[in-house]
Structure 1
């Protein structure tokens, strides 16, 4: 009796074995080893086609990608160092070897589409290890690729929705420096991407890029937070001392040196013995006599043995967050050292003629260094020293109209109120943080309570806010629309920032016909687009005014330090554009800017009220009403406390807190005659209200005549 399987049995066994192949677990390998055995260079995306072999310096960050002890990897690199190919190998490694869900974000959807077509799809076609784990019959899309046991999300990074509703173990941001500083008023892209890793047993966050402007770069922020900043060091063949390759300059004897303008004579001078090596000499030692060493000296990575050691060579655990910095073009055999010097000489000639764009590109893309641009920014310390002794909720002489800007955040409303006077002189009379849930329509009543707050003028008049602008660009757009739509006649404006150059502070409105519940309504809310960069230019000019009077900006002594930090959080930075150079307002990563946004929206309110069109006679009439010569006869002994009867239930209470902290509630400074800040409390028993002088009603300037204004 024959025990050999028949043809049908052999077919079944073959099918079972083939079906179990994707479930086979390979012996764990570092990425650099796995890539050399499995990765393949596609002809569409590479100068050469065939099997992959990593450069020695690439193995350092590749193995950091695959090391589960390392949770975050940051790479500051130049062009032509092969970083993109190592990233592709890591994607293939996660799908075929680790079977881990992953997401890759590019700066825009167009960047994503181009990357998928030119890099991802050829890789899926040519790498055998990936073909073995692809799901048969599964139709993939531009945004999603499916594998046995894992998926790959491919996303553009401009919209906040791109960072929601996905759960992954690996988050990758390519060209991180090109992402927006803040994604739709939510958070920075790296923080949002990290949020997708929560709960993963071995979370991994990778961000790499050629960098841009100093103090305004996501990579710079992540570098500062790294546990170890690694540089690739070679051993000098003359003195055996370790050092990185350095560009250098005229003030030092080491680094790149050449004779006159002859870039072909370039060599690298050792900072220890001052002996020279050529690029050919470097390529002889770049593997066996080179190693990644941290700036602090406590960490070393041997890319040949795949181990982390301390300074004495003892094997240690890898740090949690590793940054590989200044991986510039001189390390790569794809760039000739003479070509680097030639590029610098040409860029220098153009810079002397006034065109700094080539030099900026050389610093960023060849040297992998930050460009130190000359920026325009107000000094927060100088502004805080100008603080005056008037109290919050008190309007000094000169302040005639109150306007308020509101910024809506996930768990609070940030509010700044300004008093505007003759010549658009400005007094900051309040900065409040109202903690609430903007997703709950009931919590928006707290803005009503704030809007009805009584401010006391130094003349004795009782004043209320005349116009309020509410930002609708965050997560609670429809809730903001609904709030403003019901209060348009009370001069509550729905606004959204528009940073287009030369955009008017107040431009045309569009009608939004969807309410907070997403339903179509007949009478939509008018949405006003605010020229934010124009308003910031205007504000910056006023902050530079040093003499009191028209255009001068006053600050209350009760304002916290955080207010000044936020007000000066952005700088006017030169940017390369198609037509030459333009200026754009940019925020430093990790710094909040709500106070600045609120102030921009308050300036918009002044334009809606037409205050920028007022003549001297108009201001005189306004002054005679708000601060009459006999103002003491009408002085209010105590302003009315604002506590609306329709306060939400206790479970929806709100507190106004100092902006010095967003974590611990504190009590606002209280001193007569300042009215108490808005604190929601249970409705009090009905009592006769205190007598308050009737509030004058502000009316917009007449288009027919600028001489008659009524209050």
Structure 2
């Protein structure tokens, strides 16, 4: 009875005494237990199997560090280490905690399969945080209360889950590459989570993920903003250190008189070994793991605050851990032979054109983003091709002008492009105009400025004057399309080839398809309320064609030309997307924006190709182009002698465009010329 009373008093006293500050690594290896469900390794946690996480634990404890990012392989024991950090907070430093998952199902699986079994074997934590599924206040599967805080599990595809919590002291993100970027127009889930952390003094963010595609990966993007630490491992023979790399895995080959394996060929993956790049010493699996352990444990014994990790960039509060591939794994079951088999199988599949296995291998085994090899010239090479002609001046070959506009919340981006024989084209202008486009205010200065470009007169180097033949405005954004529809409707009488467009989500959509007719018997769309038909642009095929044209050099059909003084961001924006497999599109390759890239120039150029199809420029014959040029000369002599070029006009004096309609063949009059230039042939 006395013993029971003493235990009760001791336990009650612990509730009133402030918890002792204990390093995370020390608490984990003395207080944290792995459940039987974790696999072969269970019971008291031992960094013998995950020595590389000692550096992460040290970063968690560092008061100067507010964010920790890991770009890692998939089988290194990450999830249970993350749970250990969470339970340590519940036990020693209670606060509001949030864990973010890509989808609700991911969070539910984490709760049922890992969190609950782990809490149950860690009894001191289980006494504080009830993980049963009984329906009572503060204890749902996605919300666990404990004295001084709570643990909330949220899904990235429901922004309200994050926003309903005012502040968070510690947050963990599982697989950031799979999280939603912009749900219901409320921004990215991770961005919303970061806002909650800002409201809690001393908060920390832990992000761990396996990367996907280079330049698209959110994991990679976050890592580049850190000090990008690596873990060099010492060789047991020469003592020299290097970052473990799959390039140093080797294997033997069967003799030529032996039959080749269906997948591996003459390679013998079971003979795989690791070779030190400094001395050539051969490491087997035991030596590989021992070298990792010995390197880290020696760093700890020597008092290294980073526990063997080395910064490759300056530290500014964000600790990043990279190159944490499967060669570092010290868990049972990871072998060089298995790695070799998977690599050979992935490479064999890639020879058939199926890159899925190789992508998975690079992401999940090497812990690196997969780099698609593009045959497109880079931005620097494209810039070297720029030509000596002035902005807003049409070179000699340009005979038809198009204007395309991408509408953003705070600006509009526009491209004027001149077209000639064989769809050879010249950039006449790439620019952006600051604006507030979320309202349809017809007095907004940006629309008057756009009028100046739409209805302007442009000089061609042979002395002709040109007007825009067709123009389009992107109306994809639900917050700006009112303004777009208002602009298009109110200019239609003056310019009947002014289109409201949207990019099609169908990756197989043709560049040009006829718009749906307005049906008054069905539920009206926002566009139909304005009396408009919206053209859907097959942006995937348009960008495919654009990329093919960017590869071409010199002059001739399909070539694209650019003036020397084009704005410096033009080429970077043209290359701002990568065509890669998308889970959202069933694994089909779609264009995806690179991390932090702007792509308005790319979108405008894709829309320009759509307008060239709309004007049927690809169907025009040499005689048609000759007739257009002859007509321009006639127009210049008869009608445009006193026209003011766009560079000298004021918005108030922009002349109205001639209404075009259209015959075939050589133009007999100015009206016939207008019809031919506008593609009604």
| 2:458 paired with 1:463 | no
8 A contact 2:347–2:358 mirrored in 1: yes
Match of 2:206 in 1: 206
| 2:512 paired with 1:503 | no
Offset, 1:566 = 0.9
CA 1:400/1:264 → structure 2, altered by over 3 Å: closer, same or farther? Answer: closer
8 A contact 1:308–1:318 mirrored in 2: no
CA 1:95/1:615 → structure 2, altered by over 3 Å: closer, same or farther? Answer: farther
Match of 1:532 in 2: 539
| 2:597 paired with 1:591 | yes
Match of 1:27 in 2: 20
8 A contact 1:451–1:464 mirrored in 2: no
CA 1:515/1:575 → structure 2, altered by over 3 Å: closer, same or farther? Answer: closer
CA 1:240/1:624 → structure 2, altered by over 3 Å: closer, same or farther? Answer: closer
Query: What are the residue-to-residue correspondences of 1:397-476 with 2, within 5 Å?
Result: 397-442=396-441, 445-453=444-452, 454-458=456-460, 459-461=463-465, 463-464=467-468, 466-473=470-477, 476=480
Offset, 1:593 = 1.6
Offset, 1:82 = 0.8
2:361 alignment partner, SS class: helix
In 1, distance between residues paired with 2:589 and 2:344?
A: 27
1:340 alignment partner, SS class: helix
In 2, distance between residues paired with 1:514 and 1:171?
A: 42
Aligned match for 1:325, one of 322, 333, 339: 322
1:341 alignment partner, SS class: helix
| 2:79 paired with 1:84 | yes
In 1, distance between residues paired with 2:411 and 2:425?
A: 25
Gaps of 5+ in 1: 1-9, 250-254, 293-299, 641-672, 679-688
Match of 1:600 in 2: 606
In 2, distance between residues paired with 1:301 and 1:483?
A: 66
CA 1:485/1:140 → structure 2, altered by over 3 Å: closer, same or farther? Answer: farther
In 2, distance between residues paired with 1:382 and 1:344?
A: 34
Offset, 1:562 = 1.0
Offset, 1:80 = 1.4
Query: What are the residue-to-residue correspondences of 1:36-185 with 2, within 5 Å?
Result: 36=29, 39-41=32-34, 46=39, 50-54=43-47, 55-95=50-90, 97-107=92-102, 111-112=106-107, 114-116=109-111, 118-120=113-115, 128=123, 129=125, 132-133=128-129, 137-138=136-137, 149-150=148-149, 152=151, 154-157=153-156, 167-178=167-178
| 2:628 paired with 1:628 | no
CA 1:566/1:119 → structure 2, altered by over 3 Å: closer, same or farther? Answer: same
Offset, 1:140 = 6.3
In 2, distance between residues paired with 1:677 and 1:70?
A: 55
Offset, 1:559 = 1.3
In 2, distance between residues paired with 1:637 and 1:578?
A: 54
Deviation string, structure 1 residues 225-275 (Cα, Å, up to 9, x no partner) = 432422152x444444444444334xxxxx656676554544444444444
8 A contact 1:419–1:428 mirrored in 2: yes
In 2, distance between residues paired with 1:141 and 1:488?
A: 57
Give TM-score scaled by structure 2 length.
Answer: 0.75
Offset, 1:595 = 0.9
Give TM-score scaled by structure 1 length.
Answer: 0.72
CA 1:247/1:556 → structure 2, altered by over 3 Å: closer, same or farther? Answer: closer
Offset, 1:105 = 3.9
Match of 2:261 in 1: none
Deviation string, structure 1 residues 337-391 (Cα, Å, up to 9, x no partner) = 3322333344455556665543443333223244443224243334333333443
8 A contact 2:578–2:592 mirrored in 1: yes
In 1, distance between residues paired with 2:489 and 2:111?
A: 43
Offset, 1:621 = 5.5
Match of 2:386 in 1: 387
Deviation string, structure 1 residues 53-102 (Cα, Å, up to 9, x no partner) = 44222222233234332223222221210112223333444555444445
In 2, distance between residues paired with 1:620 and 1:58?
A: 72
Offset, 1:502 = 2.0
Deviation string, structure 1 residues 268-296 (Cα, Å, up to 9, x no partner) = 44444444443334445644x2229xxxx
8 A contact 2:157–2:183 mirrored in 1: yes
In 2, distance between residues paired with 1:103 and 1:492?
A: 49
Range that drifts further, 336-345 or 165-174: 165-174
Deviation string, structure 1 residues 158-198 (Cα, Å, up to 9, x no partner) = 68888867654445433234557888999887667645544
Match of 1:290 in 2: 295
1:202 alignment partner, SS class: coil
CA 1:344/1:571 → structure 2, altered by over 3 Å: closer, same or farther? Answer: closer
Deviation string, structure 1 residues 98-141 (Cα, Å, up to 9, x no partner) = 44445444445654555455445655666552662469933667
CA 1:245/1:630 → structure 2, altered by over 3 Å: closer, same or farther? Answer: closer
| 2:548 paired with 1:541 | yes
Match of 2:668 in 1: none
Deviation string, structure 1 residues 297-325 (Cα, Å, up to 9, x no partner) = xxx9639968348999xxxx986222222
CA 1:342/1:361 → structure 2, altered by over 3 Å: closer, same or farther? Answer: same
Aligned match for 1:302, one of 300, 303, 307: 300
Match of 1:555 in 2: 562
Kindly tell me the number of residue pairs found equivalent between the two proteins.
626
8 A contact 1:479–1:515 mirrored in 2: no
In 1, distance between residues paired with 2:534 and 2:85?
A: 45
Offset, 1:537 = 0.6
Match of 1:645 in 2: none
2:231 alignment partner, SS class: strand
8 A contact 1:180–1:189 mirrored in 2: yes
8 A contact 1:505–1:531 mirrored in 2: yes
What value does the CA root-mean-square deviation take over the aligned residues?
4.7
In 2, distance between residues paired with 1:488 and 1:124?
A: 67
CA 1:451/1:31 → structure 2, altered by over 3 Å: closer, same or farther? Answer: same
8 A contact 1:410–1:438 mirrored in 2: yes
In 2, distance between residues paired with 1:73 and 1:169?
A: 14
8 A contact 1:462–1:693 mirrored in 2: no
Match of 1:374 in 2: 373
In 2, distance between residues paired with 1:485 and 1:62?
A: 61
